[in-house]
Amino acid sequence: MPKKDIGMKFGLFLRKLAVPCLIFMGKTKVASPVVFIFLCGTMLLHAQQSTLDSLKSALVKYEARKKKAGISGIHQMDTAKVHLYDALAFEAQKNFSEETLGFINAELKLAKQLKFKDGIADAYNVMGMYYGNQGDLPKALACFENTLVVRKQMKDPAALSFTYMNIGTVYSMQGNYTAALYNIVNATEMAAKAKNSYGVASGYNNMAVIYKAIDKPDEALASYIKALRLFKELKDIYNIPITQFNIGSEYLERKQYAKAMQYFTESLQGSKLSGNKDGEANIYIGIGNLLKAQGKYKEALVQYTKAYEIRKSIDAKADMAASEIEFGRIYTDMQNYTKAIPYLERGLKGSKETGSLSEVERASEVLAEAYAKSGNYKSAYENMVLFKDTHDSIFSINKDKKLTELRLTYEFNKKQDAQKALQQKKDAAVAQQSQQQRSAIYAAVIALVVVSFFAFWINHNLQRNKKQKKIIEAQNEKIQQSLSEKETLLREIHHRVKNNLQIISSLLNIQSENIEDKNLLSSIREGQSRVQAMSLIHQNLYQSEQVNNVDIENYLKELVVYLSQMFNTDSKKIETAISTDGIQFDIDTAIPLGLIVNELVSNAYKYAFENRENGRIRINIKAVGDDYELHIDNDGRPLPTNFDINATKSLGLKLVSILSRQLRGKFSFESDEQQTSFMVSFRDLKTLS
């Protein structure tokens, strides 16, 4: 079932004492990252250019009145001029005017000359807004942190709240959710101190979205509920239905359908009252998803249709494409492929035009299924290839985002540790100074000289040790970065190989659906099992912590489960026991070994238990000196008397013999009425290289 991303688009950065305008409803996505939400300041509502001209005129009049009063140079009354520069800079940056930095620099210079802290803080703040809206996030962050330093000195909780929120906004844009959450919590606490209920409610809402992004759903739900309580107290008719929708979506993910429907219904009523058409469409999608999850497809279609009509009326092209895909998905679930395919094709086309990779992935996957079920295998193959390519692209993008997030989180934690260390150093210096003052009263000059000498000696050693430590840390960081990059590349290779093998397996599966010749069908199934045996190796490698070695026991369990399903043994009670003593092999040994097990277990399912309802298969791998032994035993029908492996026409057993020689080993068997045992002695190829 498609998931709903909850939140709002990024708003403008905050100015001091701005009244927050809160949350916009998010867009329908499918398994994509959460969209973050942040406060935005209420701006002047006059036409921007006329406002800018009026402010310039006011600045000229101010200078004229000052000159008429006989005042020259810098005067304390120039704080009013600082505020004029701030208003000019703010209006200019909204227009992306080239004059913006000129106004900001004039404001900052004059405020510093006047030692006007409020003006200095405002100048850094509007400079941060300018760089943030230009997309230069590092400069924006530096400016907001300068604002924070000044506003901490002023001890104004209202201004601090907006500054912390701006810093949190930048960190969230960078993907550093740890730092974003830290600053949003601070912003919320400052808003509470300033008795700014809107700021507190918005802070809780923002915390909920961050918690959602870092996979803490319980904390997200609790924060949404706190935000809703405050919005109701404030009688905020716009944000109440949005938050109700967010809560309903949380309950939908938990499959608590009654609670989800309650919040969706209340949200729909509120959205109609506030005139939020985009939000109203999203709520219809949410209700449709709920009904679909309950198997009520026709009722879900009614809700999706309402959402589509609203989106069409407001020309929301990306959302219209998403709705087309939703129609196609539900008709596919209803096995009405004739209706499903046109919707899916339109949704795919629209998603390509709007550049939504997640929707392209979803549409191509469902199209491949619909075309395959309707017998159009060429189109099914083309869409399966598109799905795999898009899936790989999204995987790479998400991987890069995750690596960036980890790096930024590490840098933030490192910065926090450095700040703590600096504060501890300052505290220690203050304590040491006090101690020295007390010691000076009771000690002679000689004692003071001794203390100074030791202080110098200790500091010298600390500096030397610190320098050596930095060199070692830098070298270790380079080594770890190189290893991490190589490991990431190797995992990506295994992932792509596994995907390609899965495509081959899917093609074989599609091909087999129309084959009635049992011998040919059996051959295709055997080929499919061999491809799957190799695919599972690569899957284990890119999913495991050790990218070079395969946990052979876990791999064999997955392989046996797959073979059991392939040969339809659900009606039979075939007991399987696997024991490997925790042995691991690299890919060169694991692939031929996996193919050997695949052939011998497949033969057991096909022939040994052909006319039996139950049986037992035991697989054991153990070390024998420098070699290893593989034993596969079954208690099914024995092999024919005088059976000769070398003379057999079985491709599977011939393949086992060839693979045994590849592993520098040999293949043998024993068979009687009680048990058939196959034994392969082999070497770990890694030890031979």
> Would you place residue 47 in the very low, low, confident or very high pLDDT band (cuts 50, 70, 90)?
very low
Residues 6 or more apart whose Cβ sits within 8 Å of residue 546: 584
Q: What are the residues whose beta carbons fall under 8 Å from the beta carbon of 26, sequence distance 6 or more?
A: 4, 5, 6, 7, 8, 9, 35, 282
pLDDT in the model for residue 415: 62
Tell me: the pLDDT tens digits for 550-561?
Answer: 888 988 988 888
Predicted confidence (pLDDT) at residue 201 exceeds the cutoff of 50? yes
Q: Model confidence over 365-374: pLDDT tens digits?
A: 989 898 989 9
CATH of the domain at 636: 3.30.565.10
Binned at pLDDT 50, 70 and 90, residue 429 comes out as low
Question: What's the rounded mean pLDDT across residues 322-341?
Answer: 89
What band does 102 get if pLDDT is binned at 50, 70 and 90? very high
Residue 460 lies inside a defined structural domain of this protein: no
What per-residue confidence (pLDDT) applies to 613?
80
Residue 370 counted as domain residue: no
The whole-model pTM stands at: 0.51
Q: Is the pLDDT of residue 42 over 80?
A: no
Question: What is the pLDDT, as a whole number, of residue 674?
Answer: 86
What average pLDDT does this structure show over 208-216?
89
Are 245 and 2 in contact, with CB atoms under 8 Å apart? no
Give the CATH number, domain containing residue 63: 1.25.40
Has residue 156 got a pLDDT over 80?
yes
pLDDT band at 248 (very low <50, low <70, confident <90, very high): very high
The structure tokens listed for 614 are 């139950």
Partners of 681 in the beta sheet? 629, 666
Tell which wins on pLDDT, 382 or 531. Answer: 382
Q: What is the residue type of 74?
A: I
Angle between helices 79-94 and 48-68 (to 10 degrees): 160
* Domain C-terminal end among 124, 139, 154: 154
Give residue 501's pLDDT. 65
Six token digits for residue 580: 């490997």
Query: For residue range 550-600, what is the model confidence (pLDDT) as tens digits?
Result: 888 988 988 888 888 877 655 678 889 999 988 998 888 888 898 999 989
- Who wins on pLDDT, 501 or 387? 387
Whether 251 is in a domain gets the answer no
What is the per-residue DSSP string for 24-75?
PP--B-SS-PPPP---EEPPP-S-HHHHHHHHHHHHHHHHHHHHHTT--S--
- In this prediction, residues 613-627 reach a mean pLDDT of 91
Between residues 96 and 379, the one the model is more confident about: 379
Q: What percent of the chain has pLDDT over 70?
A: 76
In terms of pLDDT, which residue wins out, 495 or 654?
654
Residue 28 scores a pLDDT above 70: no
pLDDT at position 104 is 92
Last residue of a domain, one of 121, 138, 154: 154
Compute the average pLDDT of residues 113-119.
92
Lowest-pLDDT range, 147-156, 442-451, 609-618? Answer: 442-451
Task: Average the pLDDT over 608-625 and give the result.
Answer: 88
Q: What's the domain count of the chain?
A: 2
Mean of the pLDDT values across residues 239-254?
Answer: 95
* 82-97 pLDDT tens trace: 999 899 988 888 777 8
Give the Cα separation of 170 and 174 in Å (integer): 6
Nearest to 252 by CA among 241, 265, 240, 239: 265
Q: Evaluate whether residue 473 is within a structural domain.
A: no
What does the pLDDT average to over 144-168? 92
Report pLDDT digits (tens) over 61-83: 888 888 888 888 888 888 899 99
Q: Which of 27-36, 408-417, 647-656 has the highest mean pLDDT?
A: 647-656
The two three-digit tokens of residue 409, written as one number:
């989180």
Give pLDDT, residue 241. 94
Q: At residue 377, does pLDDT exceed 80? A: yes
Of 147 and 467, more confident: 147
Mean pLDDT of 281-300: 94
pLDDT tens-digit series, residues 516-529 = 776 676 667 667 66
163 pLDDT exceeds 80?
Answer: yes
Domain carrying residue 569: 548-688
Of the residues 154, 183, 202, the one at which a domain ends: 154
Please report whether residue 651 resides in a domain: yes
Q: Is residue 319 part of a domain?
A: no
On average, the pLDDT of the chain sits at 80
In a domain, 12, yes or no: no
> Is residue 1 assigned to a domain?
no
Residues in the chain: 689
Residue 17 has what pLDDT? 33
Q: What's the average model confidence in pLDDT over 160-188?
A: 90
Q: How far is CA 538 from CA 453, 498, 541, in A?
A: 64, 6, 5
Q: Higher pLDDT residue, 182 or 504?
A: 182
